[in-house]
Amino acid sequence: MRIRPLMFFGVLSGVFLLPTLMFAQFQQPTDEELKMTADAKYPDAAAVILYQEEKADDTLHYHSRYMRVKILKESAKELATVSVDYIRGYNTIDAVSGRTIHADGTIIPLNVKPSDLMAVKAGETEIRQVTFNLPSVEVGSILEYSYQVRYPANSYSSPFWEIQGQYPVRKAKYMFAPFPDFLGATAGLSSRGMVGAHGEELTDLMWYPHLPAGKSISPNASKRIELELSDVGPLPRERWAPPIEAERYEVRFYYAPGSSVAQYWTNEASYWLKEVGRFAEVSGTIKTAVASLVAPGDSDLDKAKKLYAAVQGLENTTFTREKSDAELKREGLKPVKRAEDTWAQKSGGGTDLALLYLALLRGAGLTAYPMKVVDRDLGIFNANYLQWNQLNDTVVILNTGGQDIVLDPAEKMCPFQLVHWRHSGAGGIRQQEKGIAPWVTPLSPYTANTIIRRAEVTLSADGQVTGKLKFTMSGQDALYWRQRALRVDDETLKKDFDDWLKTQVQAGMEAHLTGFSNLDNPNADLNATAIATGSPGSAMGKRILLPGSFFTTREDNSFIEQPNRQLPVDMHYAMQVKDGVLYHLPAGFGLETSGPAASVPWPGSATFVMKSTTNGNDLTVMTTLARAFTILQPEEYGQLRDFYQKVAAADQQQLVLHAVDAPKGN
Amino acid sequence: MGQAKGLARGNAIRFGGHLLRWAALAAIVFVCMPGFAGIFGKAPVPDWGMQAYKTRTPEYAKDSAAVTLYDEIVETIDSKGRAVEREREAIRILKPQGRGHGCAVSYDVDEKVNYFRVWTIAADEKQYFAEDTDFVEEGGTGIPVMLSTRKVKVARPPAVDVGATIICESEELMRPYMQEKIWDIQDDIPVVFQALEIDLPAGEKHWQSWHNYKAVDPVEVAPNHFRWEIKDMPALDLRDIPSHPVWQALSARMAVDWGDSAADGVDSEWKSIGQWMTQLEADRPTPSPEITAEAQTLIAGAPDFYTKLSRITESIQKNIRYFIVERGIGGYQANRAADIYRNRYGDCKDKTTLLISMLQVAGIHGYYLMVDDRRGVVDPQAPSLAGNHMITAIEIPPDVNDPRLKAIVTGKDGKRYLIFDPTNERVPVGILPEYEQGSYGSLAAGDASQVIALPVLPPDANTNERTGKFTLGADGTLTGSVDAIRSGASGGELRNALKYSDDKERREALETSVAHDVPGVVLNSFEYVQPPALDKPIEIHYKLTAAQYAHTAGPLLLVRPRVVGSLAHAFDDKPRKFAIDLGSTGHWHDSFDIALPPGYVVDETPDPVDLDVGFATYHSTITAKDNQLHYERDYVVKKVELAASEAGVYRKLEGTILADEKGTAVLKKQ
C-alpha cells in the first residue's frame, strides 16, 4: 500500500511544547472478522478495511495512521507492503508497529526494522520513504499497523482525508486538531505568520468536504474536527469516466484569508488580474506590433484572426522546451515579465502566449478577457474548494458583436475559434465587463470535430483488396496530429500514424501513410493519404464476402460489454465520422444481395446511417456516425448502450458478391 | 584471499544514458554507471569533449532521434580486483523526441561516485555547464514490489535542443565484489565510436566474450592495459517488427572478467560463475527447525517423488508473497531461508532458497539456476552475469521416471535436472513457464556448475481445448455455451490473471475477449473452475447471446462458424532480419456446433485447411449435417522460435489461420 503524503506542511513562527501523545492500541479481532471470507455487500472486494483511523494534531505536532485490513483475495496481499513518504530534515516517521493475525488467531508481530530510502532528491530537498512489510500475510489474514509522522513544533498541517479508495471501509475515524485560533471566533484574527502566495495573511482553516449523504464536519467544543464513517463503498472503476477526484469521498483542509466563497474568488481573481494587467499591459511595443499586423479597415474578427495567427507563429516552449535561466543569460535575454518581452523574444510558454494575445487584442482596441480554467483531463472546477491552484491553464475570451468567443492561443496549432477539448466544458474564473465570475467554457459541437474517411479500392477475384485511402480531419483529431508532429520527427510521426491506421481498417488489411498535407496549417483541414492492401473478407468458390464497413467504428466498444454504469460518461469531445468507400468489383462478380444499410437514430444525442449504391461494377458504401454528446449522466447510460449495440450490429453487415456466371446454390 | 575477494564477480549492465531503459532496474541485477554532480564548479568543455563534438553526424544516423558520437569507458582495477570506472560520453540530439537522451549515473551502497560532470554544446555552439540544480536523484522506490538501495542521478542539462551535443564525464568506485564488466555496445541510437579499457594490475588475467557481435581483438596500450574499439554501431530499433525476440536478446554486448572471475574458455567461465554463486548462497538455504517441521509435514505420506515434490513447490508458490529486497550485494545474494519462511515474502532468489531448503529436508538436491525471463538474453557462448531471474534446478534421482516431470534436462555431469520456477505462482512443478523455455541458465552446483539449456516442452504440455454448442436464430441471434479446458503453462497464465482480478474484472476481461470475436456479445453467465492442485487443468464455462451474429443478405444468412478464439498473429510482408518469437509451443483445439434456424440450409462453406509447415500444423474443416454446422480446427506449435529465414513459411501459416478464422458459411432460405 503506497501512502501518499497526507498533508502539506508549513512553518509557523511560534514554538510549542511537545505533550505526551496518545497512540492507537491494537484491537482484539472479533470471531466474525477472523472467520470472514468475503464481504456480503461487496463480494468482489479483495480486501476490506475493517478500521481506519487518521489523526493530525498540530498542537502535539504529529500525524498518525492506524489500519486494520482483512485480506480476502490473493491480489490484496500487496497491502502488506506499507510505504510512507516524508521530507528529510522536516518530518520523522516514528512508532511504526504492526502485526499479522491469521484466520486462526495466530499473531505474527512485525519485527523487521522498516527501511528508510531516498525517493527523490533535487537540490536540498529530499523526499524519503519508509517502507515495511507485514509478515506472513495470507488470504484470511488481518493486517494491523500504525505509525506516526512527526513534525516540528512550529508547523501546521493541511490534512487530506482520502476516504474512498479501492477497498470498502467498514469503519473509519478521522480527527484533526488544528491550532485553535484558526477556528471559530478567533479565526480571522491571527495568521501565526502564515501568508499566502500574494502576501495575504491566511487566518482561517477551511475545508472542502465531499462526504456520503447525511455526513458533515465542523469543529467540536474542543476545537477539533472529527468524522466517523461506516460502510463506505469502494470507488467505482469505469472507462471513459471524468477525473475520479470529482467522484471520490474526501476532505481537503487548507488555509485561507478568512473570506466567503464569493469573496475568496473575488480576492484571488483581483490578484490574478493585477498580474495579468501588468503582464499584458498594452505598451508601446505591443501597439507597434498590432499596427504591423492589422489594417485599420479590418473587421474586429479579422483583427483577432490576424493577431491569433501571429501568436501561433511564435515558438511555444510548452511544445519544445523552456529555456533555463542559464540559457537566457547566455543568450543575453532577460526573464519574461511582460507580454512585450514574449513578443520581443518570439518565444514563450503557453500561458505567456495566451496573455500576449490578450495584450494584442486589447492593443487593437478589442474587448477581451482572460479566463483561468481547469484542465478537464485532470479535474473538475469546484468553486466551493477555495484553492486557486485547481485552475491550470489560461484561455482568452474575445467579445465581439455582443458574443463571447473562447480562444486557445496557448495550444500550438489550435485553429482560431477552436479550443483544445481539455479546455472546453471547463470551469474556471473569467474576467468580464464588470469584475469576475465563475464560468464554464462551451463544449464544442460535433460538427467542429470531423473525420472524413475515404477509400477507393479494387477487389480481385480472390478477395484481395488494394487501394488508396484519404483522411480529412478537422477539430480535435487534426489538432492531435499537428501537436504530435511538433514533438517527434517525420519518420516517427509516420510510424505513429501507421499505428493509428491499424485501428481504422478491418483485420486482414494493412495501411501505410503516404503523406500529409496541411500538417503545418491549422486553418485548413488536415489531410492524410495512405495505401491499403489485404484481405478484409473471405473468398469461397463462387462468392466473396466482405465486411460491410471497410473502416472500423472509431468508438469504444466497452459500452456494449458494460451493462450498468455508476459514473458519468465523459467522451472528451463530440465528433462525427463520415466514411465513403468505393469498391471496384472484379470482372464477372456482382452483388448477390442488396448492399449494407442501416439507420440507428438516437435523437438529440447520436445517429448512425449506412447506405450503399451500385453503379455498374462499382459499389459505394457511405456511413456517418455522429455523436453530439460529450458528457452523459449514468441515468442515460441505457440509451447510450442500446445505441452502440445497434451500431455494432449494423457495422457487422457483410457484402456478398457472387460470380455472375456461376450457378447459384448447391 | 579474503571473503570479499572470494565473492568477487562481474559488474552489471551499463545504461547507455537512455532514460527509458531504467525500467529494467526492476531486474535482480542492478546496473551501475558513474556519478556525482558538478562539484568542481564551472569548467569548460574538456578537450576530449570538444574533439567528440567535432564528429560529424554520419549519414546512417540521420533518421535517429539522437546519436552517441563518443563513448569511452575505462576500468582501472586495483590489486584487490575492485574497479574504478570512468566514462566519457558525447550524445548529439537529432530529433525533437531525442531530447530524452542524456546521461545518468547509478550507484548503490557499496559504491561511491567520485564526480559526474555534464556540459551542453548547443546547436549555435554556445557552451553550458550543468549546475547542481540541473541534477535530480531518484531512488528505487517507484516499484511497489521492490525495496532497493540503488539510486540514479539524472542530469537535465540546459539547452538540450535539436542539434545540441551533451558531454558527460563521470567516475565511480565500483562494488568490491564485482569482477566483471558488461559492455553494452548497442543502443537504440547509433554509436559512432566507443571504446572500453581494462587496466589490470600486473599479472592479473582477463577473459572476454561477445554476444551478437564478432569478437574484437584488444590493443594492449600499456602493460596489462587493454583497449577495445568499435566504430559505427547501428541502432537496434524493433518498432513495427512483429513477433521479435526481446531487445536485450538481440542487442550486441561484451563481457570482460578479471581476477578470480577470469577463466579460460566458455565452459570454464560458466563454471566460474556457478562456483561464485554457489559460494555466495552457500549457507542461505540452511533449514531452520520450523522449515524442517513444515517440510516434513508436507511430505508425510507422499506416495511418490512427484507428490513429495509438488507438495513442497505448491506450498512455496502459494504462501510466499513476491517482494524484492535489494541492499547492495542483496541484488545477487538471497536472504536466509529461516527469515524468508518466517516473513512469508521474498524475491526469486529467496523463493529458490526456501525451496532448496525444504528439498534438503526431503532428501532432494536443489540448485540455484540464474536465468533471464526473456528468452535469448543468456547466451551459452557468452558467459556473464547478464540475467534477471533465479529459478531452481532439482536433481531427479535415476529411478524416477514420472511423465508429469516434463521440464527435465540432462547436464554435462550426466545428472538429470528438473527445471522449475518457484516465483511463477501458477505453473506447476514438472513444466516450465513458456517465456523461459528455450533459454539458457547458469547452474550453481559447485564444481558441477555449468550452463544449461532450458527445455522446450512438447505441445501437449500447453493445451487449450474449446467446445461450443450454439443455436442460430433466423434473425441472426446466436445463443449457446462455450466450455474450455486449459492446462500446462496456458492454464498457469490464466490462473495468474485470475489471482489478480475480482469477479467484475474477470467478467470484463472475458467479455472483452469474446467481444473481439463476437461484437455486441452479452455473457449470460460465466464460471472459472480452478482445482487447488496446480497440475490440474483450469476450466472456463460461459453462456452467451449475440444479437445479429449472423447477417441477413436477401435470402442468405451469413454466419462465421469459428465463433470464438483468435489464434492468428499479425505479421507483415517486409524482409525479415530477426528471429521470430512464437511465444510458446502448444496445442489448441476448437470444436463448435451451430444448430441452424429452421428453413435454412447450407449453400456454401469455405474449403477445408490442411497445412503442415514443420514447426506447426493447422487443420480446419467446416461441415454441415442434419441442420448442424460443425467447425473443427486443430493447431499445434512445436517450436518457440524460428530463424528469420523461415519468415515466408510463418507468413503463410499466419495468413492461412487468419483467412480460416474469417471464413463464413452461406446459409440459404429454402
A 301-340 residues with CB below 8 A of B? Answer: 320-321, 323-324, 326-327, 330-331
3-state helix, strand, coil in chain B (%, to 5): 25, 35, 40
Chain B touched by A495 (CB under 8 Å): yes
> What is the pLDDT, as a whole number, of residue A173?
97
Judgement on whether residues B525 and B447 belong to the same structural domain of the protein: no
Q: Which of B95, B139, B141 sits opposite A488 (nearest CB)?
A: B95
Question: If pLDDT is split at 50, 70 and 90, which confidence band does B570 have?
Answer: confident
- Chain A residues touching B159 at Cβ < 8 A: 323-324, 327, 330
Over the stretch B395-438, which tens digit does the pLDDT of each residue have?
999 999 999 999 999 999 999 999 999 999 989 999 999 999 99
| Structure-block grid coordinates of residue B584 | 510458446
Beta bridge partners of B453: B440
Cα–Cα distance for residue pair A528/B555, rounded to 1 Å: 40
Same structural domain for residues A410 and A482? no
pLDDT at B490 over 90: no
Do B490 and B586 meet the contact criterion of CB atoms below 8 Å apart?
yes
Is A564 at the interface with chain B, CB within 8 A?
A: no
- The shortest C-alpha distance from B207 to chain A (Å) reads 37
A398, A414: one domain:
yes
CB contact under 8 A, B547 and A645: yes
pLDDT of the residue at B15: 27
Encode pLDDT of B43-68 as tens digits.
899 999 999 999 999 999 999 999 99
Shared domain check, B466 and B448: no
Give the gap in angstroms from C-alpha A618 to the nearest C-alpha of chain B: 18
Using one digit for the tens of pLDDT, what is the confidence trace for A273-313? 999 999 999 999 999 999 999 999 999 999 999 999 999 99
* Domain final position from A392, A427, A442: A442
Q: What is the pLDDT of residue A95?
A: 92
* Same-domain status, B407 and B425: yes
Are residues B520 and A648, on separate chains, in Cβ contact within 8 Å?
A: yes
Residue-level pLDDT at A20:
34
Q: Are residues B479 and B607 in the same domain?
A: yes
Work out whether strand B225-233 and strand B191-199 pair parallel, antiparallel, or are unpaired. Answer: antiparallel
**Residue A118 is nearest to which of B145, B151, B239, comparing CB atoms?**
B151
Find the mean pLDDT for residues B347-375. 97
B6, part of any domain: no
Inter-chain touch B663–A80, beta carbons under 8 Å: no
- Distance, first Cα to last Cα, chain A: 66
* A120 with B97: Cβ contact below 8 A: no
Between B201 and A537, residue with greater pLDDT:
B201
Residues A461 and A546 in one domain: yes
- B185 falls within a domain: yes
Residue A236 covered by a domain: yes
- Asked if the Cβ–Cβ distance from B554 to A653 is below 8 Å, we say no
Q: Do B393 and B469 sit in the same domain of this protein?
A: no
Residue B630 reports pLDDT greater than 80:
yes
Q: What percent of chain A has pLDDT over 70?
A: 94
With an 8 Å Cβ cutoff, are A592 and B128 in contact?
no
State the Cα–Cα distance between residues B522 and B547, nearest whole angstrom: 9
Residue B212 has pLDDT above 70, yes or no: yes
Q: Which residue in the block uniquely carries the three cell numbers 468507400?
A: A581
B145 pLDDT above the threshold of 50: yes
Tell me: pLDDT of A488 over 60. yes
Question: In whole angstroms, what is the distance from residue B575 CA to residue B464 CA?
Answer: 32
Nearest CB neighbour to A133, from listed B323, B508, B547: B323
CA distance A649 to A171: 46
Query: Using 50, 70 and 90 to split pLDDT, how confident is the model at B32?
Result: very low
Residues 6+ away with beta carbon under 8 Å from A505: A469, A511, A532, A534, A536, A550, A551, A552
Report the residue of chain A nearest B552, measured CA to CA. A653
Query: Cα distance from A612 to chain B (closest Cα, Å)?
Result: 13
Share of chain B above pLDDT 70, in %: 94
- Domain of residue A12 covers 2-259
Cβ neighbours of residue A400 closer than 8 Å, sequence gap 6 or more: A300, A301, A304, A366, A367
Comparing CB atoms, the residue among A75, A133, A498 nearest residue B343 is: A133
Residues of chain A with Cβ-Cβ distance to B549 below 8 Å are: 652
Question: What's the confidence (pLDDT) of residue B79?
Answer: 94
- How far is B655 from chain A, CA to nearest CA, in Å? 8
Contact with chain B for residue A83, Cβ under 8 A:
yes
The model's pLDDT over A203-212, given as tens digits with 9 standing for 90+, comes to 889 899 999 9
User: How many separate domains does chain B show?
Assistant: 3
Q: Which of B141, B556, B662 sits opposite A119 (nearest CB)?
A: B141
The pLDDT-based confidence of B118 (bands split at 50, 70, 90) is very high
Residue A196: its pLDDT value, please?
Answer: 83
Return the DSSP state at A460.
-
pLDDT at B25: 29
What three-state secondary structure class fits A347? strand
Residues B549 and B417 occupy one common structural domain = no
The grid coordinates of residue B40 equal 568542481
B13 in a structural domain? no
Whether residues A394 and A452 fall in one domain: no
Q: Give the chain B residue nearest A1 (alpha carbons).
A: B144
Nearest CA in chain A to B572: A510
- Look up the CATH number of the domain holding residue A251: 2.60.40.3140
Report field, pTM of the whole predicted structure over 0.95? no
Give me the pLDDT at residue A560, please: 75
Q: Do B548 and A119 touch (CB under 8 A)?
A: no
Residue B237 pLDDT > 90: yes
Mean pLDDT (whole number) for A72-98: 93
Same domain, A366 and A251: no
Chain B residues within an 8 Å CB radius of A121 = 136-138
> What's the gap in Å between the CA of A529 and the closest CA on chain B?
20
Is A560 within 8 Å of B519 when comparing Cβ atoms? yes
Side chain identity at residue B57, one-letter code: T
Look at the block and give the residue holding cell 557481435. Answer: B213
Q: B32-41, B547-556, B651-660 — which one is most confidently predicted on average?
A: B651-660
What's the CATH number where B513 sits? 2.60.120.1130
Q: Which of B399, B428, B456 is the last residue of a domain?
A: B456
> Which of residues A427, A442, A457 is at a domain's end?
A442
Kindly state whether residues B118 and B215 are assigned to the same domain: yes
CB B40 within 8 A of CB B171: no
Read off the pLDDT band of A185 (50, 70, 90).
Answer: low
Per cent of chain B over pLDDT 90 is: 80
In chain A, pLDDT over 90 holds for what percent of residues?
73
**In Å, how far is B450's CA from the nearest CA of chain A?**
35
Which CATH number is A285's domain given? 3.10.620.30
Residues A121, B501: C-beta atoms closer than 8 Å: no
CB atoms within 10 A of CB B621: 17
Q: Are residues A496 and A424 in the same domain?
A: no
Rounded mean pLDDT, B469-479 = 96
User: Domain residues for B648?
Assistant: 460-669
Domain's final residue, options A240, A259, A278 = A259
Q: Which residue has better confidence, B116 or B552?
A: B116
Identify whether B362 is part of a domain.
yes
Residues 107-136 of A with CB under 8 A from B: 108, 112, 115, 117-123, 129, 131, 133, 135-136
Phi-psi domain of B17 (left: phi exceeds 0; alpha: psi -120 through 50; beta: other) = left
Per-chain mean pLDDT for chain A: 90
The predicted model gives B630-645 an average pLDDT of 98
A interface test, pick of B97, B327, B604, B669 with most A CB neighbours within 10 Å: B604
Which residues, in sequence order, are CB contacts of B139 under 8 Å at separation 6+?
Answer: A117, A118, A119, A120, A129, B148, B150, B151
Mean pLDDT of the A317-340 span: 84
Q: Is residue A119 part of a domain?
A: yes
Q: Domain for residue A664, yes or no?
A: no
User: With contacts defined as CB-CB under 8 Å, which chain B residues touch A652?
Assistant: 519-520, 548-549, 551
**pLDDT higher than 50, residue B8:** no
Interface test with B, best of A324, A592, A614 (most B CBs within 10 A): A324
Residue A77 has pLDDT above 70, yes or no: yes
Instruction: Establish if A598 touches chain B: CB-CB under 8 angstroms.
Output: no
User: What mean pLDDT comes out for the span B616-632?
Assistant: 95
Co-location of B620 and B600 in the same domain: yes
In a domain, B413, yes or no: yes
Instruction: Tell me what the mean pLDDT of segment B612-623 comes to.
Output: 97
> Do A414 and A471 fall into the same domain?
no
Distance (Å, whole) CA A636 – CA A241? 14
Handedness of CA B355, B361, B366, B368 (dihedral sign): positive
The pLDDT of residue A373: 98
Shared-domain flag, residues A245 and A315: no
Q: Do A491 and B63 touch (CB under 8 A)?
A: yes
User: Band of the pLDDT at B4, cuts 50, 70, 90?
Assistant: very low
Domain count, chain A: 3
B89 to chain A nearest CA, in Å? 22
> What mean pLDDT comes out for the span A212-231?
94
Q: Which of A112, A327, A654 has its CB closest to that of B159? A: A327
> Which of chain B's residues have a Cβ under 8 Å away from the Cβ of A651?
519
Q: What local confidence, expressed as pLDDT, does residue B199 receive?
A: 98
In this complex, the residue of B136, B325, B604 whose CB is nearest that of residue A541 is B604
Dihedral angle sign, alpha carbons of residues A514, A519, A521, A524: positive
Q: Give chain B's mean pLDDT.
A: 91
The answer to whether residue A554 scores a pLDDT higher than 70 is no
CATH number, domain containing residue B288: 3.10.620.30
d(CA B290, CA A108): 14
DSSP-derived letter for residue B474 is T
* pLDDT per position as a tens digit, A104-153: 999 999 988 999 999 999 988 999 999 999 999 999 999 999 999 999 88
Average pLDDT value for residue range A448-465: 95
* Inside any domain, residue B35: yes
